[in-house]
Amino acid sequence: MLPQPPERSQESIPVEPERQFTGENSRRQEGRDQLILPVSEGSCRVLSDYILTKTLGVGSMGKVKLAQHVNSGEKFAIKILPRVIPNPNTSSETVAKATVKDASNDIRPLREAALSMLLHHPYICRMREMTVHQNRYYMVLEYVNGGQMLDYIISHGRLRERAARKFARQIGSALEYCHKNNVVHRSLKIEDILISQAGNIKIIDFGLSNVYDPSTHLKTFCGSGYFPAPEMLNAKAYIGPEGDVWSFGVVLYVLACGKVPFDDRDMPALHAKIKRGSVGYPVWLNPGCKHLLSRMLVTDPSTRATLTEVLNHPWMTQGFPGPPDPHLVRREPLRFNEVDSNVIYRMTGFEFGTEEEVEKKLVEVLRSDIYHRAVQHWERKRCINKSRDDVTNEKHWDSSSSISLGYKSAETDLTASPSRKSKCFSGLDFYCRKLFSPAPSSPATLALHLPSKLPSNLSRGDACEPTDPTYGFHPLISIYFLVREKMERERVEGPGHFANS
């Protein structure tokens, strides 16, 4: 087992002005600010409506505390991240440099909060709200109480094949949902996978995630330890999703084999092994799983399997009628004359610019020829699918309902398997060397522009077909949809409401 981080003594939080981050623009927040009084009460701390109790975990950025809502009694996890305050005694040049650095340090938690509050997926940990103090951020998260996948593997060894497939399908479902919304995780690792009480996964820590435009490249080095893709270590520009496929491959290797594919105590030596990409597979590993891993752990991102290939791989779909459900809601293409300013002003936290700039850029994308062609194609396809569905429904409405029941029961069947203890080989002592992980660099600013060519996520097979205008077309459109869907949920369920699972 990994040595548990020591429980730190209860700290006292100074009284300081607090700002609630709800994804809304600060201009309209004027007058809403209130003073929060975090106080000690016995051995617990009170923060606004939450009583903070034990430490759930400590990460490189901060710590996570268990909290209980004073009125509802509901449990949450509160992630506490320090804010870097410039030292007033330093020279003006140093202060100026520090201010730039602080601004970029601020970007990560703000973007993490903005994304975590918008993403709505059963296998992604949700965020209810974030409170910004002078010295700290407090992120109120869904409490995931089934433990860490890492602890399970350390104590039980590798997973049985069916359990590995179940969790791989859930990770794949969450990644597809993100990618289809122009979001990349960029630092997926086994520690970021928690288990809910229902026995499903929840991905935490979107701290290094970002939105991506399929027609441009990101440059920031992200990821740490055993999981970053070789192109990130080589400081090459990347689009985004291909790096997540690599990290997903490393996670799947750990689930299926009980050890990491690339290992070394020495960080430069570890990075050299990752860049070389030569992987050893245990002789007992299922050949289908080995083939899938060999397609994911390809050093050249242009020949690495796409997420679509991974999710449709025979090993992934074995025992299921198809790839995992990405839990995407049905969307109609957005028209430039339908853009709602109430949605625009909540598109904050992504360095998109001012409200006016966001609206201008969004309308520009929506009026572009390439978008227009994508919408026309989407509509034609819908007509064809609709007439096909009508014919199928008339002829086979009975059999279609039985297919959907079959799918559900297959997922339910697999859900039961992880509780069975595996006596397989356990080789995860590598986590005792976790301290070797390099610190992440500051995130890059996203340049938003009109796609000048077809997005390159269309490569390999479907390059002649325009991208779906409702999913993955452009980050501004995706974030617009996510904000609008969040507003709709708030209207129905009430603000910040979500059920822990």
Ligand X SMILES: Nc1ncnc2c1ncn2[C@@H]1O[C@H](COP(=O)(O)OP(=O)(O)OP(=O)(O)O)[C@@H](O)[C@H]1O
Task: Give the binding site for ligand X (CB under 6 A).
Answer: 56-57, 59-62, 64, 77, 79, 125, 141-144, 148, 191, 194, 204-205, 207
* Least Cβ distance, residue 189 to ligand X (angstroms): 7
Measured from the CB atom, is 143 or 212 closer to ligand X? 143
Q: Which two tokens stand for residue 77?
A: 């996890």
The residue type of 197 is Q
Measured from the CB atom, is 61 or 296 closer to ligand X? 61
Maximal C-alpha separation, the chain: 79
* Least Cβ distance, residue 170 to ligand X (angstroms): 16
d(CA 185, CA 115): 10
* Least Cβ distance, residue 304 to ligand X (angstroms): 24
Measured from the CB atom, is 320 or 431 closer to ligand X? 431
Cα angle vertex 167, ends 483, 291, to 5°?
115
d(CA 76, CA 68): 6
d(CA 184, CA 242): 9
* Least Cβ distance, residue 144 to ligand X (angstroms): 4
* Least Cβ distance, residue 108 to ligand X (angstroms): 9
* Least Cβ distance, residue 61 to ligand X (angstroms): 3
d(CA 182, CA 469): 12
Question: Are 229 and 271 spatial neighbours (Cβ–Cβ below 8 Å)?
Answer: no
Measured from the CB atom, is 140 or 362 closer to ligand X? 140
Question: Could you write out the DSSP letters of every residue in 280-311?
Answer: ---TTS-HHHHHHHHHHS-SSTTTSPPHHHHH
**Position of tokens 């339908």?**
338
Question: Are 19 and 33 spatial neighbours (Cβ–Cβ below 8 Å)?
Answer: yes
Tell me phi and psi for residue 69, to 5 degrees: -75, 130
* Least Cβ distance, residue 64 to ligand X (angstroms): 4
Measured from the CB atom, is 207 or 326 closer to ligand X? 207
Q: Cα separations (Å) of 240 from 110, 186, 306, 350?
A: 20, 7, 11, 16
Measured from the CB atom, is 3 or 88 closer to ligand X? 3
> In angstroms, how far is the first alpha carbon of the chain from the final one?
26
Measured from the CB atom, is 214 or 349 closer to ligand X? 349
Composition of the chain by helix, strand, coil, percent to 5: 40, 15, 45
Measured from the CB atom, is 18 or 142 closer to ligand X? 142
Measured from the CB atom, is 142 or 359 closer to ligand X? 142
CA 246 to chain centre: 15
* Least Cβ distance, residue 493 to ligand X (angstroms): 19
Measured from the CB atom, is 35 or 435 closer to ligand X? 435
* Least Cβ distance, residue 205 to ligand X (angstroms): 4
* Residues whose CB is less than 8 angstroms from the CB of residue 276 and which lie 6 or more positions away in sequence, other chains included: 299
Measured from the CB atom, is 209 or 308 closer to ligand X? 209
Cα angle vertex 426, ends 421, 428, to 5°?
125
CA 351 to chain centre: 18
Pairing of strands 193-195, 63-69: unpaired
Q: Cα separations (Å) of 500 from 75, 200, 343?
A: 8, 12, 26
* Least Cβ distance, residue 246 to ligand X (angstroms): 17
* Least Cβ distance, residue 206 to ligand X (angstroms): 9
* Residues whose CB is less than 8 angstroms from the CB of residue 252 and which lie 6 or more positions away in sequence, other chains included: 164, 168, 171, 289, 292, 293, 296
